[in-house]
Amino acid sequence: MRIAKSVNRYKKSTVVAVGVLAASAAGLALASSPAAGQTGAVSAPLSRPGPTSDPGFPTFVKLPADQAAHPDAQNEWWYTVGHLSAGGHKYGYEVQLTAQGLTQIALTDVTSGKYASRQNQFGPGQFSVSATALDVRMPDASLSGPPDDMHLTADLPHGVGTLNLTLKAAGPAMYDNGTGLFPFLGGTSYYYSLPELRTSGTLTLGGKASPVKGISWLDRQWGDWNWATLHKWTWMALQLSNGQTLNLWDLFDSSGEGHWATVLNPDGSERVVSVNPLAPGAADFQTSPVTGQRYAGKWTVKIPSLHATLVVTARPVLQEIQYGSPLSPGINEADSAVRGTYLGHRITGLAYVEQLGIWK
């Protein structure tokens, strides 16, 4: 798969995507790799010395080429979240840019508990995306450059300031589901993540610029799927103190519920593992005064194959971007903290938790 070839190629070659992972009792099928040669939670050693190298077995994603836009894709976005320190405060941020001209920008002051967000939809001629390199330019945000030297800018909500960041991929890329491709909402999705982006730059608030440092996460997803089949999902980007990163889903759609995670090790090897359903362990619910959505603020994530119990806590609970659509009047994008145990050892970490769909 290369730029502009998108999902059609996969539909013609589904038979070669061997290996099926049972991601949940609901039977959400996830395409695995030929090298794995088995079903269930797969561990396949990969050779990934850096974020622009090819893995040890074939994937449907190629870097850095697939940082660029895919004109044939019905849906596509560049989603960046991160955890920053500046001026004695801890911050979380989200900047999402879509190939259809939508931007979502949010800033959480974790120290003070303050939060601000904005969504804008721009029309043709107001924005540009490149199909040859990563270069996405919106009136209120931009993202460009190779994986080890990306430049992100954003105008913060309500005119309070700006973000101007450099993102450098310090670890291997995550090929979600091990191949960078899986069935999704009645269609297919290409998907990879750069989960360890060393971040520096400036945060300007109220006319005062402060140097920032931190860690960010880039998600890239594109393909053709049917949003009408979605009920809701909880998604987590987990960055743990032992160097493990997890891309976790608990998705409810017309076929049922699927819950799984792609686990990336520091050496680039990956596993796809089953995750216990999140709803039974969810707590600290709060209701949005704007949309009436009711979001959880704490989750107990249990991954039996990793002997992991992780408590994920949003800081604060309500970090909502208003959608105003029948699919989801709001989406909660919560900067979160992690603590718990993993393979018998105590663990801490950082996370972003997304709740999309109808949550009431």
Which own/partner pairs from 234-237 qualify as long-range (CB within 8 Å, at least 24 positions apart)? 234/278, 234/296, 234/299, 234/353, 234/354, 234/355, 235/353, 235/354, 235/356, 236/299, 236/301, 236/312, 236/336, 236/351, 236/352, 236/353, 236/354, 237/81, 237/193, 237/195, 237/351, 237/352
Within a domain: residue 110? Answer: yes
- Structure confidence at residue 31 (pLDDT): 29
Return the number of other C-beta atoms located less than 10 Å from residue 10's C-beta.
21
Question: What DSSP character marks residue 310?
Answer: E
Write out the DSSP string of 311-334: EEEESSS--EEE--SSS-SEEEEE
Q: How many domains does the chain have?
A: 1
- Angle at CA of residue 41, ends 39 and 46, nearest 5°: 95
The whole-number pLDDT of residue 40 equals 28
What pTM did the predictor assign?
0.84
What pLDDT, on a 0 to 100 scale, did the predictor assign at position 46? 26
Q: According to the model, what pLDDT value does residue 243 have?
A: 96
Report yes or no on 25 lying in a domain.
yes
Is 58 inside any structural domain? yes
107 with 116: CB under 8 angstroms? yes
Whole-number pLDDT of residue 92: 98
On whether residue 175 sits in a domain, the answer given is yes
- In a domain, residue 1? The reply is no
Q: Which CATH number fits the domain that encloses residue 22?
A: 2.40.370.10
Residue 82 domain-assigned? yes
In a domain, 12, yes or no: yes
Task: Report the percent of the chain where pLDDT is more than 90.
Answer: 80
| Per-residue pLDDT, 94 | 98
Q: What is the pLDDT at residue 24?
A: 30
State the residue range of the domain holding 231: 6-45+54-357
Intervals of the chain under pLDDT 70: 1-57
pLDDT digits 0-9 by tens, 232-286: 999 999 999 999 999 999 999 999 999 999 999 999 999 999 999 999 989 999 9
What is the bridge-based pairing of β-strands 256-264 and 245-253? antiparallel
Residue 22 forms part of a structural domain: yes
Residues facing 216 on adjacent strands: 82, 197
